[in-house]
């Protein structure tokens, strides 16, 4: 809020159907002055933006898009809570701004009738009047405002037309007296609502919803003032209504559409469509059974290819920066704990994770564009045919696709799925999609250990391996969904209905904003959680640094070699044969000392304890440690591998890349190389299938409202990962041996 303002900002709640241009209007009003957070207790995204008009500040809360103000999901519950002033985090709105699509007025007014029943000052933004005109729709704006008894402002949010008038209307509406719309329901229904209100259920709208909600969502939600007595009262009321010929919940649609019919009678006309619009013509191709599927495959290939395309140059660039930073630290700091922490811990750890920022940007960029231009809904339509075979619907496609970037927004996106069983299965399999945090593991190991072969001239083995990792997740998800749908989450495939919005050019500001938002949350994770885990792992691998554990002959050799080198340095400044020999010898001794320190560290002892368990996967204890340390967040593994393998190295070589370090790592007993292709594949398969993400499990807990499902997911994915990795390694070794 600008400092010049003294009056408190006007709180505006923005609500509307999906695909009415709500996000566009929000961006047009607030620009970059918006903050994204969560409503407390739920993972519903809370977007609040600031704008001003004639020195009066506005604080605009963007509510989730919804067709109806009937809470049947957390998203819709938040919208109702905010509008009723029951959300602690947001002040009760001074004004409700309802946006409707002028070319789809009848359906949009359904939601408006619900909003008007709340009795708050309301302003109607009539969006896309230009599109409506092109479609041959005529509408008398003034007559509509008269009938609704609220200000109606025509806007074109994408062209920023009508915004000043809209703000003026909002400012003026604050002090307007407003009374709730007379109930559109029959008298018998109103009487029952009145009875509920008298028994303590307030406000009236909530009583109405309790009566209408046969889905059981509201009954399960803990609402103050609603107890067991209320529920039995509701059941009795429904029975009385049913006997009186008032069907619940069908009466709502009947009455509201009747109201809509009365409001629009004579002032809203639609000419029969003269010709196919552009969207319909594009859809002839893009939703065509074969052509559409071909195009869809093409889009997916381009998307994932682009992600991998930026991977290499970006890693090279950021690796270079890490190396530069390491060298700087080495120049400034003497060897010791702080230098080890900065180089092995911070730079290798956090820096190693930031390498993947460009790929995450690219993936989110594509998803944001596909969503904003309207193609995502077509993709969901095309995918429904496949998804319905495993007991899901096309609606699960968008959450699952988002999960390729990150399972957290993916699981949250599952909220658009109304069917609870469908939604649950989608949430449970979402973490199997290879998210961007797995990319680091794939990129590192494929780069280092998969041979650079080509088939038919163009298909590279490295690319194929990457594809295989994604495919493993998808195949596993399919099987898990099928099994779940036949066992613990039984039920027929739900009906599927979804709006296909008109195509439009993606709004640059919306796309950029979404990409930056997601990218920033990744950087924040790298800066906090990953940073913390990195330091813990470093400390566990560094302490207790007790020289008593080190072979005394090694320490003696180090002292002797250092003294000899000092003497040689004094004698002659140039490096001769003799000195080079000493230096190589010293490096070897230092490496062994570092290795012994690591072995006797907290981490080393733990690692040796678990080595028998990970040996069948082809892993040494260090990989095992890295995998365990990355249980809270899988991207940590790069950092952890860097820290563990670097701690076991002499520091002078810590500027080499992680891939080079891994290639040289040896088993401590036999001296054989730890990593070969089957080991690398085994690690990748493990990471593809394992639930190593505390944030995902936490979001799952919030979305399913129970610890049962995250616990289930963790167990089934870990078992799957262990078995998958073991089979991969054992089968892989057969090929290596032959």
Partner 1 sequence: MSDLIPLHFLSRGEVAEIDQLVGGAEDVHRLEELGLRSGVMIEMLQPGTPCIVSLAGHRLCFRQNDTVGILVRAGVAR
HEC string for 297-323: HHHHHHHHHHHHHHHHHHHHHHHHHHH
Q: Is 287 in the site for partner 1 (CB under 8 A)?
A: yes
Of 393 and 601, the one with the shorter C-beta distance to partner 1 is 393
Mapped onto helix, strand or coil, the DSSP state of residue 156 is strand
For residue 544, whether the previous peptide bond is cis, meaning omega lies within 30 degrees of 0, is yes
φ, ψ at 587 (rounded to 5°): -60, -40
Considering only 22-30, 274-282, 294-302, 705-713, which stretch makes contact with partner 1 by CB under 8 A? 274-282
The yes or no reply on residue 168 touching partner 1 (CB under 8 A) is no
3-state secondary structure of 268: strand
Give me the sheet containing 95-101, strands edge to edge: 34-38, 45-53, 56-62, 10-16, 95-101, 122-127, 152-155
Using CB under 8 A as the binding rule, whether residue 457 contacts partner 1 is answered as no
C-beta closer to partner 1: residue 116 or 307 = 116
Q: Which of residues 348-377 bind partner 1 (CB under 8 A)?
A: 377
Q: Which is nearer to partner 1, 34 or 393 (CB)?
A: 393
CA distances from 548 to 364, 433, 442, 552, 598 (A): 52, 48, 40, 8, 13
Binding string, residues 128-157; x marks residues near partner 1 by CB under 8 A: -------x----------------------
Among 29, 44, 70, 193, binds partner 1 (CB under 8 A): 70
- Span near partner 1 by CB under 8 A; candidates 281-289, 319-327, 632-640, 642-650: 281-289
**Complete DSSP assignment for 355-413:** TTHHHHHHHHHHHHHHHHHTHHHHHHHHHHHHHGGGT--GGGHHHHHHHHH-HHHHHHH
Q: Considering the rule CB under 8 A, would residue 272 count as an interface residue with partner 1? A: yes
418 binds partner 1 (CB under 8 A): yes
Binding residue (CB under 8 A) for partner 1 from 40, 225, 247, 544? 247
**Among positions 283, 422, 650, 651, the unique one binding partner 1 when judged by CB under 8 A:** 283
Residue 499 found at the interface with partner 1 (CB under 8 A)? yes
| C-beta of residue 183 within 8 angstroms of C-beta of residue 190 | yes
Question: Which listed range, 284-292, 626-634, 687-695, 710-718, lies at the site for partner 1 (CB under 8 A)?
Answer: 284-292
Task: Note the Cα 603 to chain centre separation in Å.
Answer: 32
- Under the binding rule (CB under 8 A), the answer on residue 74 touching partner 1 is no
Q: Which of 334, 456, 497, 548 binds partner 1 (CB under 8 A)?
A: 497
H or E stretch including 280? Answer: helix 278-286
Determine if 289 is a binding residue for partner 1 (CB under 8 A).
yes
Nearer to partner 1, 153 or 392 (CB): 392
| CA-based max dimension of the chain | 110
The separation between CA 527 and the C-alpha centre of its own chain, rounded to angstroms, equals 18
Let me know: does 242 contact 279? Beta carbons within 8 Å.
no
Is 277 a binding residue for partner 1 by CB under 8 A? The answer is yes
Q: How many residues bind partner 1 (CB under 8 A)?
A: 45
Among 267, 479, 500, 694, binds partner 1 (CB under 8 A): 500
Strand 95-101 and strand 122-127: the pairing is parallel
Contact between 728 and partner 1 (CB under 8 A)? Answer: no
Q: Is 460 in the site for partner 1 (CB under 8 A)?
A: no
Binding mask 301-320 for partner 1 (x = CB under 8 A): --------------------
Q: What distance in Å separates the CA atoms of residue 19 and residue 101, rounded to the nearest whole number?
A: 8
- Candidate list 199, 293, 388, 677; residue touching partner 1; CB under 8 A: 388
Does 239 contact partner 1 by CB under 8 A? no
283/651 with CB nearer partner 1: 283
Asked if residue 243 binds partner 1 (CB under 8 A), the reply is no
Binding of residue 52 to partner 1 (CB under 8 A): no
Smallest gap from Cβ 322 to partner 1, in A, equals: 48
Structure tokens at 302: 């381009």
Q: Report how far apart, in Å, the C-alpha atoms of 621 and of each of 198, 550, 612 are.
A: 68, 20, 8
Contacts of 65 (CB under 8 A, 6+ apart): 16, 17, 18, 19, 20, 22
Q: How far apart are CA 341 and CA 347, in angstroms?
A: 9
Site string for partner 1, 191-230 (x = CB under 8 A): -----------------------xx---------------
250 contacts partner 1 (rule: CB under 8 A): yes
216 Rama class: left (phi>0) / alpha (psi -120 to 50) / beta = left
186 counts as binding partner 1 under rule CB under 8 A: no
Q: Burial of 13 by CB count in 10 Å (0-12 exposed, 13-18 middle, 19+ buried)?
A: buried
264 binds partner 1 (CB under 8 A): no
Query: Smallest gap, in angstroms, from Cβ of residue 435 to partner 1?
Result: 28
Side-chain-side CA neighbours of residue 477 (13 Å): 27
Work out the angle at residue 445's Cα, subtended by the Cα atoms of residues 439 and 451, and round it to the nearest 5 degrees: 125
Q: What does each C-alpha distance from 271 to 135, 137, 138, 155, 258 come to in angstroms? A: 8, 6, 8, 22, 21
* Candidate segments 2-10, 279-287, 529-537, 721-729, binder of partner 1 by CB under 8 A: 279-287
- Specify the long-range contacts of residues 733-737, CB closer than 8 Å, at least 24 apart: 733/618, 733/678, 735/678, 736/676, 736/677, 736/678
Interaction between residue 293 and partner 1 (CB under 8 A):
no
Q: Tell me the per-residue interface mask from 75 to 104 with partner 1, x by CB under 8 A, - otherwise.
A: ----------------------------xx
| Nearest distance from C-beta of residue 42 to partner 1, angstroms | 22
Determine, following the binding rule CB under 8 A, whether residue 68 of this chain makes contact with partner 1: yes
Question: Quick one: which segment of 78-86, 285-293, 475-483, 569-577 binds partner 1 (CB under 8 A)?
Answer: 285-293
- The interface with partner 1 within residues 464-493 (CB under 8 A) comprises 492-493
DSSP letters, 1-63, are --TT--SPPEEEEEEE-TTSSHHHHHHHHHTT-EEEEE-TTS--EEEEEEEEETTEEEEEEEP
| Interaction between residue 504 and partner 1 (CB under 8 A) | no
Q: Stretches 63-71, 435-443, 444-452, 656-664: which one binds partner 1 (CB under 8 A)?
A: 63-71
Q: Which of 393, 396, 657, 713 binds partner 1 (CB under 8 A)?
A: 393
Q: How far is the CB of 485 from partner 1 (least distance, A)?
A: 13
102 phi/psi in degrees, rounded to 5 = -60, -30
List residues near partner 1 by CB under 8 A. 67-68, 70, 103-104, 106-107, 110, 135, 214-215, 247-250, 252-253, 257, 270, 272-273, 277, 279-280, 283, 287-289, 377, 381, 384-385, 388, 393-394, 418, 492-500
């Amino acid at each position: 809020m600008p400092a010049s303002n003294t009056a408190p900002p006007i709180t505006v709640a923005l609500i509307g159907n999906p695909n009415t241009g709500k996000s566009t209007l929000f961006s047009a009003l607030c620009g970059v002055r918006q903050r994204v957070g969560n409503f407390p207790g739920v993972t519903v995204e809370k977007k609040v933006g600031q704008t001003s008009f004639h020195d009066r500040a506005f604080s605009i809360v963007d509510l989730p898009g919804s067709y109806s103000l009937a809470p049947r999901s957390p998203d819709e519950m938040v919208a109702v809570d905010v509008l009723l002033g029951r959300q602690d985090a947001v002040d009760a709105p001074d004004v409700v701004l309802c946006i409707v699509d002028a070319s789809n007025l009848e359906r949009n007014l359904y939601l408006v009738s619900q909003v008007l029943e709340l009795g708050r000052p309301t302003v109607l933004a009539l969006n896309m009047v230009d599109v409506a005109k092109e479609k041959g729709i005529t509408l008398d704006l003034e007559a509509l405002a008269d009938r609704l008894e609220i200000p109606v402002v025509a806007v074109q949010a994408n062209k920023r037309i009508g915004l000043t008038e809209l703000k003026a209307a909002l400012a003026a509406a604050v002090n307007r007296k407003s009374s709730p719309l007379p109930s559109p329901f029959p008298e018998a229904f109103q009487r029952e609502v009145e009875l509920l209100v008298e028994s303590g259920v307030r406000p009236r709208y909530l009583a109405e919803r309790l009566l209408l909600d046969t889905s059981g969502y509201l009954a399960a939600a803990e609402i103050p003032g609603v107890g067991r007595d209320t529920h039995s009262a509701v059941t009795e009321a429904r029975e009385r209504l049913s006997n009186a010929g008032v069907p619940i919940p069908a009466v709502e649609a009947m009455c509201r559409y009747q109201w809509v019919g009365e409001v629009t009678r004579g002032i809203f006309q639609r000419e029969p469509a003269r010709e196919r619009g552009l969207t319909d013509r594009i859809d002839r191709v893009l939703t065509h059974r074969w052509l559409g599927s071909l195009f869809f495959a093409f889009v997916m290939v381009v998307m994932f290819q682009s992600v991998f395309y930026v991977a290499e140059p970006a890693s090279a660039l950021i690796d270079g920066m890490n190396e530069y930073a390491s060298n700087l630290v080495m120049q400034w700091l003497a060897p010791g704990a702080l230098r080890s922490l900065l180089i092995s811990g911070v730079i290798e750890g956090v820096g190693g994770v930031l390498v993947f920022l460009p790929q995450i940007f690219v993936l989110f960029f594509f998803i944001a564009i596909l969503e904003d231009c309207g193609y995502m809904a077509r993709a969901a339509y095309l995918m429904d045919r496949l998804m319905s075979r495993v007991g899901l619907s096309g609606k699960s496609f968008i959450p699952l696709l988002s999960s390729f970037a990150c399972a957290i927004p993916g699981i949250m996106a599952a909220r658009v799925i109304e069917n609870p069983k469908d939604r649950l299965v989608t949430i449970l399999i979402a973490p199997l999609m290879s998210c961007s945090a797995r990319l680091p593991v794939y990129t590192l190991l494929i780069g280092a250990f998969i041979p650079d072969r080509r088939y038919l001239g163009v298909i590279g083995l490295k690319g194929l391996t990457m594809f295989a990792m994604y495919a493993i997740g998808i195949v596993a998800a399919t099987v898990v969904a099928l099994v779940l749908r036949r066992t613990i989450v039984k039920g027929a495939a739900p009906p599927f209905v979804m709006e296909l919005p008109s195509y439009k050019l993606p709004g640059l500001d919306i796309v950029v904003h979404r990409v930056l938002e997601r990218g920033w949350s990744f950087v924040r994770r790298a800066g906090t959680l990953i940073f913390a885990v990195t330091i813990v792992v470093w400390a566990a691998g560094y302490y207790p640094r007790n020289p008593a554990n080190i072979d005394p002959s090694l320490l003696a050799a180090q002292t002797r070699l250092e003294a000899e080198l000092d003497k040689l340095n004094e004698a002659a400044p140039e490096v001769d044969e003799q000195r080079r020999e000493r230096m190589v010898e010293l490096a070897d001794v230092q490496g062994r000392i570092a290795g012994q320190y690591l072995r006797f560290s907290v981490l080393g002892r733990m690692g040796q304890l678990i080595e028998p368990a990970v040996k069948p996967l082809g892993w040494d204890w260090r990989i095992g440690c890295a995998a365990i340390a990355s249980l809270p967040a899988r991207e940590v593994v790069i950092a952890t591998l860097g820290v563990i393998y670097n701690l076991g190295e002499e520091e002078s070589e810590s500027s080499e890349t992680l891939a080079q370090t891994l290639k040289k790592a040896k088993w401590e007993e036999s001296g054989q190389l730890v990593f070969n292709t089957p080991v690398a594949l085994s690690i990748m398969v493990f990471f593809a299938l394992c639930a190593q993400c505390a944030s995902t499990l936490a979001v799952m807990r919030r979305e399913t409202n129970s610890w049962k499902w995250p616990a289930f997911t963790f167990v089934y994915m870990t078992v799957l990962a262990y078995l998958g990795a073991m089979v991969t390694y054992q089968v892989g070794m057969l090929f290596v041996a032959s």
